[in-house]
Structure 1
Amino acid sequence: MPQPVRDRFDDVPRTSGRVGAHRAEAPGMNGWAVLLWSFVAALILIVVGIFATLVAQQRITLFPVAEESVAPAPEETGVVDMTYSVLVLNATPEDGLDAQVRETLINAQWPDELISYGDAGTQDFAETTVYYVSDAEREAALGLADLIGGALVDQSDIYADPNDPEQKQLVVVVGLDRSSAQPESTETPAE
């Protein structure tokens, strides 16, 4: 058998009886420290992941934009002008609501001869509304709406008198919001 060739490692003195590659444990690392660092790293990754998800879903805003403060619009107030004639129409199935509004106006010192009332052509008008014809009558309509306990105000020429376009008239249409009676339902109850 041939003799192996000598190299530089053959001259290294042998201090231990072990031959071959052996790995020793790293000094200063024990199992509990490794476990603790693993938990800390996992916790950091979870928190960063949740935060990134909330930012991506826009549930958290990193740099909020300052909102411009907008001054609220001043509330319109009306003027009670008792020189207007008032027509009160009951547009509900409950009788007497037009007379109640008339009595409210009379109790507020509105001249009795300027108030007329009656039933409207419909019984399912949703909200009580004060109608006026021209822009100049808006404040008087707002004042009347406040006087009867609040109502919508709308401009419309549907109630204008074609024979006397200069007549100062406001129209109150009493709606279901003032009625305790409900409109008759056309549906049959389920059996």
Structure 2
Amino acid sequence: MTKYARDEFDRVPETSTRQGVHRAVAESGRRRLAPILAVGAAALAVGLVAFLVLPKLGLSTGANTVAVSAEQGASSAAASPAPTASSPASPGPPPSGAPSGTPSASATPSTTPAATAAVDKTQPVAIFNGTTTAGLANRVGGTVSTAGWTLGQLGNWGGVPQKRSVVFYSGAAQKGNAEALGKLLGIQTVVDSAEFQVPLVVVLGPGFQ
């Protein structure tokens, strides 16, 4: 008991909770730190998601591709040798107007004359008169003999009547001889035929002069 009289400061309810200045300061500090802690926790969660989940989803493929491309470019640049001043430049093709050092084979003139088929005048030539002009086979035979040919049979033509004069020859080997005889006698028609026993046969047709 005290010797002083009781006043309003002694009226403390027995059932009320204890309060003090230090408790109010602690509670206000906690209220200020709560938003900061929440933001930090959210940032930490976002960082963990970006580090663990996003690589599995393939979102970092573009960055990895760029990094690999840059690495390959650097390795290829290192592998290719840099040009040096002492390396000789490869000669390019000569200008189109400049003469070539080696003459072309096609530009070389050919000095070899073209080969001509040899005429064999030793082959016997049979001459038949297919016209109504008497003695025509003998006259033409003299012309052929004078030109160096060997004469065969001379006479009148007894086969199918011919519309024009013809030189018959037997086989491709006698074609050159037949053309030579036709040129000599002015006969343009030469025919390959195996019906005769001699290699060259001249049939004088209508209109032969």
Please report the TM-score for the alignment, with normalisation by the length of structure 1.
0.44
Please report the TM-score for the alignment, with normalisation by the length of structure 2.
0.41
Q: Which has the larger radius of gyration?
A: 2
Whose relative contact order is higher, 1 or 2, with alpha carbons under 8 Å and at least 6 apart?
1
